[in-house]
Structure 1
Amino acid sequence: MTIAPNRIVGGEGVLAWSLGLWPAMLGLAIALLLGLSTRALMRLVAGLLGMACLVWLLSHGAGVLLDGAGDYARASPAGGFWALLVLYALLTADALSQMRPGPTARVALLVAASVVLAWVLGSGWLGDLSIAQEFASRADPFWTALERHVQLAFGSVAVAIVIGFPLGVLCHRRERLRRALLPILSFLQTIPSLAMFGIMIPLLAWVAMTVPGAREIGIAGIGFAPAFFALVLYSLLPVVGNTVSGLDTVPPATAEAARGMGLSATQRLLQVELPLGLPVLLTGVRIVLVQNIGLAVIAGLIGGGGFGSLVFQGLNQTATDLILLGALPTVLLALLSAAVMDIVTDLSRPIPEARR
């Protein structure tokens, strides 16, 4: 951990054993030993025990460090904490990967992990940490940033699906359209995110000034609109490409049999091709959703809101914990979205991989 006289200056590192919290240190050592086991269950216990001891060490260590340190002193996790957290998280992920739980078990694990995390954060155990104090002073802006981040990331993916799925179907059926459209979408994907946001600013500013009613519905050169449109453009290639790939996985014999049964093109798409190609299509949605959750942070630079506004405020103030207040929820949201989409993708398979 680190202890600093205020929220801006760099903290002084403190070794864990100097805090005198030996039960937590013993638990961390036991978790490391259990993690050497070849049994998946033992490694799972090691990962969970290690993360629990880290939380206990933070909650009690912050109080020890702040005792008599002054009203403006701040205690924060240091590099050693993050290294150990990654280590125990990898142990847990490796154990779960080897155990290969089915979709139902993964839903239960995800719900349990979410409940435990919410309980720890809501219990006040970590209230002495600097990042918790940053949240306490910025609770309303934090929830506003969360709402805007969700609108940017999830909204852009929804619009990309509405646009990209029909385009993918057309590209699957018309080879000339596929050869013309996919290179254009690939080119858009190569444009750096900040440059794409910059391109959107003058274009939407012109639309706002020349198109009647555009400004009234929120179209402007800076803010939410350019960030949203840029994310939609970034989302099209994975959606269109995976739609084409998913429909291409349908065996020709199956498509011919459906045609022989008298099914129309729409019926074949909805009853045969889409159910068989859905796992590949959902994989594309997963990719673009996680991508957009990360890219939405850049929207803070052009007034788009989201967690990027907290990150860039922290950078301007050299306040590391304010940066983390925006960065950590972004990472958590991406991990949660990826886990949910993995479960949905597995459920969409005719024979889920976890049950083979």
Structure 2
Amino acid sequence: MSYQVPGASARAGITFDRLGATLSTLTLIALVLLPVVTLQPNRILPGEGVELEQLARYPTFMLFLGLLILTLTGVTVVSRHWIRLGLATLTLLALVVATGSIASPLLDNRGAFARLALGSGFWAIGLLLGLMMTDAVVKMGLSARWRLVIVTVCLGAIVSVLSSGLWDHLSLMLEYRNQERFWAQGGRHLLLAFGSVLPALLIGVPLGIGCHRSAALRTFMIPLLSLLQTIPSLAMFGLLMIPLTLLTQAFPVLNELGIRGIGAAPAVLALFLYSLLPIVSNTAAGFDGLNPAVIDAARGMGMNARQRLWQVQLPLALPVMLSGLRIVVTMNIGLVAVAGLIGGGGYGTYIFQGLGQTATDLVLLGTLPTIVLAFVAALVIDTLIEFSRKERG
């Protein structure tokens, strides 16, 4: 909530924003109390946080601090949200650049195995800056398309910094360089996440239409699919491993096709089962919300049942159906990480390897791209929903 400062000119755009002040206060607390970077003796042992006073000796970090103070002031008292968005974005990029530039001098004379890791202060400040950007975007009322553009530009800028070699001395990038199959695992992650979506759509959409038309089918199907959602993912993978193993033993040809009790098969099957409820329920809800007068008008124009379905009902119900797809895609991208525990591959492999080796940065190497993939996928589908609503209007 924002309040106009008494006596301030409206043209000056000065306000007091409570949320901005809260985020600014939390950012300052994180900066002072939490280490932005930590020096570790090796990749496993915990390190010691580098004092803020020591970091302030470096020009790039001083530039970041100056932008941070300017941003915290802006999100607290400036009413023009595009200024807040720009300041928060620049400060986030400055944080990325500053942490990379100080790595090499901090590691001088520390030994061959010493590492500089991103500390809790880095992640806390990055998260709070992201919240400031989100707050500005929401208050500006930007469309999903423009939100996707902003995220793409920010990710592109960060990738450019990483590609430049500025982060090469940080522990996270050292872990990345040690993983030769990182991008292959990314492709595997997407293949598992989306490989279950197509069959779920082919089965779930007709089931959703059937639930719209038949109360008896809805009464049976929705509770059954809801029951499947209550099964924890690890338990679901375990339950599917047994019948798949027995099936491959009975039909060895399945083993040659890659269908086994562990690996991709139980992961894709479990994700397929989890995907059905959002698709079925949102399809049914989309058809339930159609205006009967529109259907009657289509019937009056001489359209048969198939024409009404493809030319009227499906286009009008599409935004609600896409909302269900959004749930499925983001859920699947996250659940694929758990499939790494049963040999499914994907970024979950790094998460569980890191946990087993107590290597925090290896865990982050699997966690961060999973979060980014889910976030970008959600924005892409939000954009599709926006376009479908415009077409509907």
Tell me the equivalent position of 1:8: 44
> 1:319 aligns to what?
359
User: Which of residues 236, 241, 262 in structure 2 aligns to 1:196?
Assistant: 236
Q: Which moved more, 1:205-214 or 1:63-72?
A: 205-214
SS of residue in 2 equivalent to 1:267: helix
Structure 1 stretch displaced more, 13-22 or 308-317: 13-22
Q: How many residues align?
A: 352
State the alpha-carbon separation in 2 of the partners of residues 111 and 237 from structure 1: 31
Return 211-220 or 92-101, whichever deviates more: 211-220
Which structure has the higher relative contact order (CA within 8 Å, separation 6+)? 1
Shift of 1:262: 2.0
Report the Cα offset of residue 104 of structure 1.
4.6
Q: How large is the Cα RMSD of the aligned pairs?
A: 1.6
The aligned counterpart of 2:192 is 152
Distance 1:56-1:107 versus aligned 2 partners, 3 A rule: closer
Q: Do 1:17 and 1:25's aligned partners in 2 also have CA atoms closer than 8 Å?
A: no
Alpha-carbon distance between aligned partners in 2 of 1:168 and 1:211, rounded to the nearest angstrom? 33
Q: Structure 1: which 5+ runs fail to align?
A: none
Structure 1 partner of 2:165: 124
Q: What is the match of residue 339 of structure 1?
A: 379
Residue in structure 1 matching 2:135, options 94, 109, 114: 94
Which residue identity lines up with residue 6 of structure 1 in the other structure? N
Q: Percent identity?
A: 46
Q: Which residue of structure 2 aligns with residue 77 of structure 1?
A: 118
Residue 108, structure 1, aligned to residue 149, structure 2: yes
Q: What's the secondary structure of 2:116's corresponding residue?
A: strand
Q: Which amino acid aligns with 1:240?
A: V
Give TM-score, length-normalised by structure 2.
0.86
Following superposition, the deviation at residue 147 of structure 1 comes to: 1.3
In structure 1, the residue matched to 2:21 is none
1:306 partner SS: coil
Query: What's 1:216 paired with?
Result: 256
The 8 Å contact of residues 172 and 365 in structure 2, kept in 1 or not, is answered as yes
- Are the aligned partners of 2:208 and 2:281 in contact in 1 as well (CA < 8 Å)? yes
Distance 1:61 1:352, change over 3 A: farther
Partner SS for 1:75: strand
Contact 2:96–2:158 (CA<8 Å) still a contact in 1?
no
The residue aligned with 2:92 is 51
Aligned to 1:27: 67
Deviation by residue 1:291-329 (Cα, 9 ceiling, x = unmatched): 111111110111111111100000010000000000001
Instruction: Measure, in 1, the Cα distance between the counterparts of 2:146 and 2:341.
Output: 40
Alpha-carbon distance between aligned partners in 2 of 1:13 and 1:117, rounded to the nearest angstrom: 24
> Which amino acid counterpart does residue 135 of structure 1 have in structure 2?
Y
Q: Could you tell me which amino acid in structure 2 is paired with residue 164 of structure 1?
A: G
Report the counterpart of residue 252 of structure 1 in structure 2: 292
Is 1:237 matched with 2:277? yes
Letter in 1 for 2:358: T
Alpha-carbon separation, structure 1, partners of 2:251 and 2:141: 54
